[in-house]
Structures are given as structure tokens and as C-alpha cells.
Homo-oligomer: A and B are copies of this chain.
């Protein structure tokens, strides 16, 4: 049986987009020769040439700024920043330039660029290589943010990001690159802004995204053994996020939990909870609970990192509180 690996899906999305549109180009540190730290860009230079697939120097601020200019002048650049932690050097180009240009130039232009990066822990990569910073970007008007949790989403959302006329941040997860699924019959482009129901259920809703969904599924399996049916929503897109789908699920289950790997405080879950505490208030039969990382930098020791990241135990404990 052929399988599709997450990093190959990412690779294929870029290859298909580059084959379809000669203005799509790719650059970043070690994307051309080495094929990327996680192998997601391997072979693309051979396929599309050294003009369209380029290794850059270690200059994150310039690289991302360059993508903005390229997007203004007729290209559709994909730029890879190998760890989201390094985006700290490139925030101006994303936030003050790419995100704002369409509005601040009075809709004269779009900025069709894609910034691919990856986040997350579980690999002992330590405090400067494990962060989940998606909430920062979701707070910035003009950006779109997606977090694919599986190979098909990795393909479908990246293709959508590349054809999208506005800047999209695609956040992969280092612990997902090696995951595989049976090769799907088709790999559609997935709409940005739409969530997917991964598991239907009537007793509680868990909204999550990215690698945290694995722990959510484990917890749901345990709950199912006890006769408790969890509805799991994979948000897929963080900005815009699928408010209607979350509300619809809440209206079915009347109980809501949000789980993510990012630090809980001021994280993505806060927005979802806040929004549902407004428009979903009448549906709520219980407090809205969140499970995320505690308020500390992620530690490197395995014994600590295991506890630091959201896991089935945390989620189960929260579910029991929610159902009490």
C-alpha cells in the first residue's frame, strides 16, 4: 500500500503549485541544496531550477522582506523559515509590511506570499526551538494562518495558501513530518477558514489543531470506552477560524474544551473561548475549559517536556471537570 508522508505532502503541494504556475518561487535557508531541515523541499531545485528554488544566507529579516517585494512585483514567493522561533527576526516584514500593504495602500495591490514554517515541541529541541507562536500572527489583521494536522491537510492548505492572493502563514509541526496515512484517492485544495469534524460526538466538543490532535484523539478514545462521546474539531485554519463550525458543535454538545500545544495564556484558545462566551453563551451548560502549555518556557529535559505538553491525561482531567 502506498502511503503519504506529511513532509512529502508539503513537498508535493509546492511541486504541483510550481508546475501549475511559473511565478511561484521558493527560497529560504538550505531549502535548495539540502532540501530543508525536515526534507520538505527536497528535489524541488532539481525539478524547477536554481532560479526558482534558492538557498539564502542566514538573513531572516531580509528574506521575508524580499518575499514581500517579490509578491508586489509579480511573483508568488514561498519562503521557508525553518523554525517559527526565528520569525522573531522577521516580524517587521510580516506584520508591518505584508499584512498591512493591501489596506494601507488602499487596495491597490495584494501581497500573494506564503511563509512556511514549523512549530512545536516533543523533540527535546529546547526553549528556543519548540515554541508555538501562531497567536501572534492571528492577532494581526491582514494575515491568514493555517496549521495542518495531517498529510492531506498539509497538501490542501498549502496549495490554498499559494493560490491565495494575500499573505498566508503556514505552520507545520516538527513532530508531524514523519507521520503517514494511506495515499488518498485525491488530494483536494482545502479552503482556508474551514474546520473539519474528525470525530462526531454528542457529549462534549473539543476544538484543537496541529499535533495536539493526537492527544485529543487518545483522550476521546478513553472517554468512548466510558460511553462518553467526544466531538473533535480540527480547526485547520487559525485565522480566519471557523466560528460557525465551532458554534454548531457547541450547539450539539453544550460543552466546550479547546486544546493546543501553545502556551495557554493569551493563546489561540483564548479567542475561541472568548467568542463562544459571547455568541455561544446560551448554548453553554458548563464552563469553557482550555488545555495548553503552562506559563513557562519549554524545558529540554524529557521528563519535563512530557509534562509540559498537553497530553491525554490533562485532557481527560479537563473532560471530567467539564462533564461533572
B279 A287 Cβ-Cβ under 8 A: yes
Within 8 A of B (CB), among A269-311: 269-279, 281-282, 284, 286-290, 294-297, 299-300
Question: B residues within 8 A CB of A300?
Answer: 104
Question: B residues within 8 A CB of A91?
Answer: 87-89, 91
Chain B min CB distance to A220 (Å): 21
Give the one of A87, A126, A262, A265 with max B CB within 10 A.
A265
A188 at the interface (CB under 8 A from B): no
Within 8 A of B (CB), among A71-107: 85, 87-89, 91-92, 95-96, 99-100, 103-104
A133 and B279 alpha carbons, distance in the complex (Å): 25
A179 at the interface (CB under 8 A from B): no
CB < 8 Å neighbour of A95 from B88, B139, B277: B88
Question: B residues within 8 A CB of A299?
Answer: 103-104
B128 A100 Cβ-Cβ under 8 A: yes
Question: B residues within 8 A CB of A277?
Answer: 273-274, 276-277, 284, 287-288
A142 at the interface (CB under 8 A from B): yes
A256 and B270 alpha carbons, distance in the complex (Å): 16
CB < 8 Å neighbour of A271 from B136, B239, B265, B276: B265
A290 and B279 alpha carbons, distance in the complex (Å): 11
Chain B min CB distance to A160 (Å): 20
Question: B residues within 8 A CB of A263?
Answer: 139-141
Name 9 extra pairs, CB < 8 A, besides A103-B296, A270-B274, A278-B287: A88-B96, A135-B139, A138-B265, A141-B263, A141-B265, A142-B297, A274-B277, A278-B288, A282-B287
